[in-house]
Amino acid sequence: MNDQNKIYEIGFHFIPTVAEDALGEEVSKIKTVIEEGKGAVIADEFPKLRQLAYAIDTMTGTTKHVFDKAYFGWIKFEGTVECAEAVSTVVEKNESVMRFLLTKTTREQSIVVDVPTFSENKEDAQPEKVTRVKEEEKGPIDEKQIDETIEELVIE
């Protein structure tokens, strides 16, 4: 890894009105920005429709919408700060993105766990298993360390 490069992860919610066959194109837009910034995708999860914990108000153009579901996906990538900033800018301007979070992380931070998702089809109400990334537990940590870690991870 180049000394200038860091590991980032971006998690995003696409609005549920995006057609399922258009999700690949939306994800490709993000990956293209990473590649154009000389970054490299390490891992990702294709967006899946999920029930949100609470409804989210979103503006699409000049219209306000309230959604209780969204397509959630993530991409972990290696790149420069400039590459991460370019990704953030493109995602922020994308009207199909409801919310996103871009953080610094580590390459080794991944453990696979199962998290349920829900199909949009009401007849298929059973959750399906998907793979998510979970941080390894490293023992007790005090509040000051948590605050310092959050400050280091959050990119404005």
Specify the amino acid at residue 70.
A
- Residue 140 pLDDT greater than 80, yes or no: no
Whether the pTM exceeds 0.75: the reply is no
Query: Closest Cα to residue 49, out of 63, 31, 67, 28?
Result: 67
Residue 123 CB neighbour total at 10 angstroms: 6
Q: Residues in the chain, how many?
A: 156
- Do residues 92 and 155 make contact, with C-beta atoms less than 8 angstroms apart? no
Give the lowest-confidence range in 38-47, 102-111, 118-127.
118-127
Domains of the chain with CATH codes = 6-153 (3.30.70.60)
Residue predicted with more confidence, 135 or 94: 94
> Starting at the edge strand that comes first in sequence, how are the strands of the sheet with 63-79 ordered?
40-60, 63-79, 6-14, 97-105
For the stretch 26-79, pLDDT in tens is 999 999 999 999 999 999 999 999 999 999 999 877 889 999 999 999 999 999
